[in-house]
Amino acid sequence: MISAELCVRCKGYKRLCGLPKCPILEKARAAIEATARIAGLKIIGSTPPTAVVGERNYPSVPVIVGIPPGVSGGDAKIYDDPQGWWGKLGLTDILRLRGYQVSSIMRVNVSEPFTLYEKEVGIAAISARPVDTEVVLERLPRPITRLDPFVGATGPAAPAKEVRVVGNASLPRKLEEIIWDDVSAEEAVFELIRGGVDTYSIIRAMSLGFLGRVRRRKLVPTRWAITAVDRAAVKYFLGGLRDLPSVDKVSVHVLEYLMNRFYVILYPGKYHVEWLEVWRPKTGLTERASSSVIVYSRDYGTGRTSTIDGGFDAARHGLVKALYERGRRASAIIVRVIEPGYVIGVGNWHIRETVYRAVRSEGLTFDKLSDALAWVASVENMDVVSALKKLMTMSTRSLDIFAGNGSALKK
């Protein structure tokens, strides 16, 4: 039997169990109805925009453009709108919307992103508004929803014979400027953040090869692009945080969305984050576990993390962005509790958005960090309490304790 710890670390993506397909994702896929109704091989609608670059067969990768058949103009926006979804739609609503889109697949060599520009598919994919698109498929797609815990779900898919963009794309001004600039991808991300372009447009622009040195531009599988943008954003906001004053109180910010409850504990000090995930039994990945599975990671304060974890990257992005906007730096502990109803991941976006909104919200204040942790323990179940104890034993104490000059970590 495959251990739940392995599944939580793998999330159906790394194939740690050695099986060619993740049995959990396969089972969930069968249970989720693809709602797209396809009458013929020609699909007409507006892409919200939805564009995913896969990584299978790299460097000849699939580029997936999603279109809700028969839905055009502004109505198509809701089919891919993480910031608009947050707090309004539930897990099944999101899966239903994604399942309604038909995914037309083109195969493109990563070194030739320009082939997408010529067809205007690339430009349509980074548009701020939905773009009317026509697709002729090679065959009828199988009515199944594709699941990816990092990127999110995509609807029934089939290879595209032809993808024709018939509407006009509308690009954020800053994005339109930067695609002509010969600067590194990281500098481009910094510039786009500074210009107020939303994270999801930046991810699509990076993924479709619009950023970076002109001669070296490549398509970037969307999973990699999400990680790259999250890490660049952390670096960008950290640069600004260093000179800001510290928060002066210990506070706990709680927010829950999609059966994921986040406790963001802020305390005075330099930027430094600890990340604790508590996967309760009977979530999609811990179906057979008898007790909670705990995942721990930390950012030492430099932006580097002790483990590679896309969820932690997204959470740090939300945290530092919110702190930057509040004009305060802080040390933080983020506890994510994943409840049994979270049957399948719908992408990392909800982690980024929930942590961001939590830090922006009014929190409960405490005198000491130990009081804040004790409060979290008092409102949570035993699994979380034991995970918090584990957190405290895994942590290294501050040297301040030994100097006797007081510390937030002093217990």
Partner 1 sequence: MVDDIEWAVEFEYPGAKTFMVLMKSLGSLVDEALFTFGEEGLRIKALDPARVALLDINLGTDAFLTYEVKKPINVGVNVAGLIKAVPTPKKTDKLVFRASEEFYELVIESNVTRRYRFRSIEVVAEELPEPDLEFEVEAKAIASAFKTAIKDLKGAETIEFRAQGDDLVLRGVQIGAEAKLSRIAGSLLELKAPESGSSERYDEGYITKVIDLAGHVQTIEVRFGSGIPLNILFPLAEGGFVKYLLAPKA
Q: Mark the segment that binds partner 1 (CB under 8 A) among 3-11, 62-70, 165-173, 270-278.
A: 270-278
Q: Which is nearer to partner 1, 190 or 224 (CB)?
A: 190
C-alpha 410/C-alpha 292 separation (Å) is: 28
**Interface map 325-344 toward partner 1 (x if CB under 8 A):** ------x-------------
CB of 396 to partner 1, least distance (A): 5
CB of 270 to partner 1, least distance (A): 4
Do 147 and 32 meet the contact criterion of CB atoms below 8 Å apart? yes
Structure tokens at 5: 């710890």
Structure tokens at 318: 């939300």
Q: Which of residues 271-300 bind partner 1 (CB under 8 A)?
A: 271-272, 300
For position 407 contacting partner 1 by CB under 8 A, the verdict is yes
For position 399 contacting partner 1 by CB under 8 A, the verdict is yes
Q: Which is nearer to partner 1, 168 or 395 (CB)?
A: 395
For position 308 contacting partner 1 by CB under 8 A, the verdict is no
Q: Which is nearer to partner 1, 39 or 403 (CB)?
A: 403
Q: Which is nearer to partner 1, 18 or 404 (CB)?
A: 404
Report the residue from 60, 270, 291, 382 that binds partner 1 according to the rule CB under 8 A.
Answer: 270
For position 374 contacting partner 1 by CB under 8 A, the verdict is no
Q: Tell me, rounded to whole angstroms, the distance of Cα 143 from its chain centroid.
A: 26
Phi-psi region of 152 (alpha: psi -120 to 50; beta: other; left: phi over 0): left
Q: Which is nearer to partner 1, 206 or 333 (CB)?
A: 333
For position 246 contacting partner 1 by CB under 8 A, the verdict is no
Q: Tell me, rounded to whole angstroms, the distance of Cα 311 from its chain centroid.
A: 7
Report the residue from 306, 365, 370, 386 that binds partner 1 according to the rule CB under 8 A.
Answer: 306
Alpha-carbon dihedral sign for residues 225, 11, 107, 155: negative
C-alpha 176/C-alpha 191 separation (Å) is: 12
For position 396 contacting partner 1 by CB under 8 A, the verdict is yes
Structure tokens at 109: 């060599």
C-alpha 113/C-alpha 5 separation (Å) is: 38
C-alpha 100/C-alpha 155 separation (Å) is: 6
C-alpha 314/C-alpha 227 separation (Å) is: 8
For position 302 contacting partner 1 by CB under 8 A, the verdict is yes
C-alpha 28/C-alpha 34 separation (Å) is: 12
For position 378 contacting partner 1 by CB under 8 A, the verdict is no
Report the residue from 10, 38, 254, 392 that binds partner 1 according to the rule CB under 8 A.
Answer: 392
C-alpha 104/C-alpha 163 separation (Å) is: 8
- Which residues have CB under 8 Å from 393's CB, separation 6+? none
CB of 383 to partner 1, least distance (A): 20
Q: How far is CA 207 from CA 179, 268, 305, in A?
A: 13, 37, 23
Q: Identity (one letter) of the amino acid at 278?
A: V
Report the residue from 60, 109, 291, 395 that binds partner 1 according to the rule CB under 8 A.
Answer: 395
For position 397 contacting partner 1 by CB under 8 A, the verdict is yes
**Number of chain positions touching partner 1 (CB under 8 A):** 25
Q: Which is nearer to partner 1, 57 or 396 (CB)?
A: 396
Q: Which is nearer to partner 1, 173 or 397 (CB)?
A: 397
Give the residues lining the site for partner 1 (CB under 8 A): 269-272, 300-302, 306, 331, 392-405, 407, 411
